[in-house]
Amino acid sequence: MRLFLAARHGQSLFNVDKVVNGDPALDRGLSEQGVEEAERLAGQLAALPIGLVAVSPFPRALQTANIALAGRD
């Protein structure tokens, strides 16, 4: 059986400022709370086998994935 998971990026600095951004080049990344959310996601994913990851090119999404999947191949 295959399991598919979807996760949203952690809180971004634009979320804090209530700014909508559609340009990855302008993205400001995660807020402190967003980093904590990504760390909690890492704990939730720790016991799951993950074979494939697809991530948006936005820095906030890449940062979330890097934190949540740290230490995996």
Reported residue count of the chain is 73
Give residue-wise pLDDT tens across range 12-46.
Answer: 998 998 888 888 888 889 999 999 999 999 999 99
Rounded to the nearest 10 degrees, how much is the dihedral formed by the CA atoms of 62, 68, 72, 73? -20
Quick one: pLDDT at residue 45? 95
What's the alpha-carbon Rg for the chain, to the nearest Å? 13
The pLDDT of 5-17, averaged and rounded, is: 92
Q: Is the pLDDT of residue 73 over 90?
A: no
